[in-house]
Amino acid sequence: MSRNAESTAFRSALEVIRAVEPRVADAIGAELTDQRESLKLIASENYASPATLLAMGNWFSDKYAEGTVGRRFYAGCQNVDTVEALAAEHARELFGAAHAYVQPHSGIDANLVAFWAVLADRVESPALKKAQVRQVNDLTEADWFALRRELGNQRMLGMSLDAGGHLTHGFRPNISGKMFDQRSYGTDPETGLIDYDRVAEAAREFKPLILVGGYSAYPRKVNFRILREIADSVGATFMVDMAHFAGLVAGKVFTGDFDPVPHAHIVTTTTHKSLRGPRGGMVLCQPELADQVDRGCPMVLGGPLPHVMAAKAVALAEARRPDFADYAQRIVDNSQALAEGLLRRGAKLVTGGTDNHLVLIDVSGYGLTGRQAEQALLDSGIVTNRNSVPQDPNGAWYTSGIRIGTPALTTRGLGTAEMDQTAELIHTVLTQTTAGANADGTPSKAKYTLDPALADKIARQATDLLAPHPLYPSVDLT
Ligand code: DSN
């Protein structure tokens, strides 16, 4: 597609929207301007291609398609079948997976589908067999009551939130912590790394039904072969949430023991982080779980979004191109350059560095909370997010960490030299920010001071850094 065709497509779309509600058209245009001007270091964000974005804005959005390909609860789904089957085929080929389910609307939804597929396979199906009935509606009231109790009393072992796990891996305020009798494994207090012997010990003691691997704020590779061995040793189903690093798996940066797909019974992901697709989720699994996973909608999920499945098909096709592997490697090169630049300037990093797309700065080294650091960086045109560090004294709201990631800036074409300059900007802001106090003189976890002139200067430097790497260069809305 030529540059003109992309500009024409987006300009025409905005013209049509403007005729109905100009404020929406203005907000869409303003979002592009903001994204173009900000140094985006949010580890879980990226920039999808124009083709992916355009695949979402159409009449597929009008169609209900509960069920799966060829087995729908609604008539007239032939075109939805085409895009869902295409997205699933690209996903299977890209990841070498036996089965792919592309309907989940998000990572949380994908994890819920996976949890309920395992519960159905390992708890519900044996109960139905024992009662010699085909489905739950055929159970007696007493058997149904007993099954519901059993479903609600299963065990899950996942990585704790403050060690870098995700809130859906059993954090009590999340539904995963309420659904399961849950325990967490953490990281070694000295190194910040996963201690596989401790995970094995926890698994032996707790005997979980599901062992969850994967993370949203752990800056290292995970050995999924070892985790699978641990799961097998206690009869657990091994599930991996690769939402953050799916792009590194797709791009063959993580292979062998570090690729979860050959090792896990079931793998969940989002499609919009390092994978660079539309916002959404996906489940990959081994054949024995495929039927249960395909029941995701309508058992767990609301109606699938065919326009997003169309965009998933486009983005997954892009990820199968040879240049995606180069992109994935550059994400990690950039992340390591950013980590090295920060370390050289004296920053304290969780685990002392990174193997993947993200870096976790322990900002207590600068005398700040995560919240103060996040806001001071934002004042300076640098978009990050605060995040807990292991054994965080400031909890999940204020936190003591800043999580930064390189998938988005790598998409724009920034390289390792620019990462060193980015490290300089971040370090300057954090060293020049001072924690504030409450009215009664006690230390505040939110207030801070940063000279506005310095913040403006850094923001201008950030803009200069981005200038040679325009975002969506093929899209001209003027
Ligand atoms: N919001 C995603 C992240 O930032 O890691 C996961 O929920």
Which protein residue's CA is at the shortest distance from atom 3 of ligand 1? 44
Q: Is the pLDDT of residue 419 over 60?
A: yes
Active-site option among 52, 187, 268, 270: 270
Q: Where are the domains of the chain?
A: 60-319, 322-466
In this structure, the residue with its CA closest to atom 6 of ligand 1 is: 216
Whether 109 shows a pLDDT value over 80: the answer reads yes
Kindly name the residue from 37, 63, 66, 291 that is annotated as catalytic: 66
Fold of the 60-319 domain:
Aspartate Aminotransferase; domain 2 (3.40.640)
Cβ–ligand 1 contact at 216 (below 6 Å): yes
Atom of ligand 1 nearest to the CA of 216: 5
The CA 460 to ligand 1 mean position distance, Å, reads 28
270 pocket-lining for ligand 1 (C-beta < 6 Å): no
Contact yes or no for 283/101 (Cβ under 8 A): yes
| Number of Cβ atoms within 10 Å of the Cβ of 18 | 15
Work out the average pLDDT over 332-357.
98
Tell me the pLDDT band of 2, cut-offs 50, 70 and 90. Answer: low
The predicted pLDDT at position 444 comes to 97
Using only C-alpha atoms, the chain has a radius of gyration, in whole angstroms, of 23
- Substitution candidate for ligand 1 out of 40, 44, 162 with most atoms within 8 A of CB: 44
Q: Ligand 1, from 109, 111, 166, 384: best to mutate by most atoms within 8 Å of Cβ?
A: 166
Confidence of residue 153 (pLDDT cuts 50, 70, 90): very high
In whole angstroms, give the CA distance from residue 361 to residue 349: 5
- Name the phi and psi angles at 155, rounded to 5: -110, 140
Please state, for a pLDDT cut of 90, what percent of the chain lies above it: 99
Q: Which of 61, 57, 51, 59 is nearest to 17 (CA)?
A: 57
Residue 63 pLDDT: 97
Take atom 1 of ligand 1 and give the residue whose Cα is closest. 44
The alpha carbon of 243 and the centre of ligand 1 are apart by a number of angstroms equal to 8
Please choose from 112, 215, 244 the residue to mutate so as to test ligand 1's pocket, defined by most ligand atoms within 8 A of CB.
244
CATH architecture of 322-466: Alpha-Beta Complex (3.90)
Query: Is the peptide bond between 298 and the residue preceding it cis, with omega within 30 degrees of 0?
Result: yes
Say if residue 3's pLDDT is above 70. no
As a whole-number percent, the residues of the chain with pLDDT over 70 amount to 99
Average pLDDT over residues 59-82: 96
Check whether 165 is labelled as a binding-site residue. yes
* pLDDT (0 to 100) of residue 106: 98
Average pLDDT over residues 396-408: 97
Q: Is pTM beyond 0.85 here?
A: yes
Q: pLDDT of 23-64, one tens digit each?
A: 999 999 999 999 999 999 999 999 999 999 999 999 999 999
Tell me whether residue 273 is one of the annotated catalytic residues: yes
- For residue 166, say whether it is annotated as part of any ligand binding site: yes
Q: What is the pLDDT of residues 427-465, one digit of tens each?
A: 999 999 999 999 999 999 999 999 999 999 999 999 999
pLDDT of residue 1: 52
What is the Cα–Cα distance from 35 to 55, expressed in whole angstroms?
A: 20
Nearest 5°: phi and psi at 173? -65, -20
In the predicted model, is pLDDT for residue 126 greater than 70? yes
Exposed/middle/buried for residue 62 (C-beta within 10 Å: 0-12, 13-18, 19+):
exposed
- Cα separation, 387 vs 32, in Å, equals 26
Task: Tell me the backbone φ, ψ of residue 101, rounded to 5 degrees.
Answer: -125, 115
The Cα 13–Cα 24 span in angstroms is 12
pLDDT tens-digit map of 308-326: 999 999 999 999 999 999 9
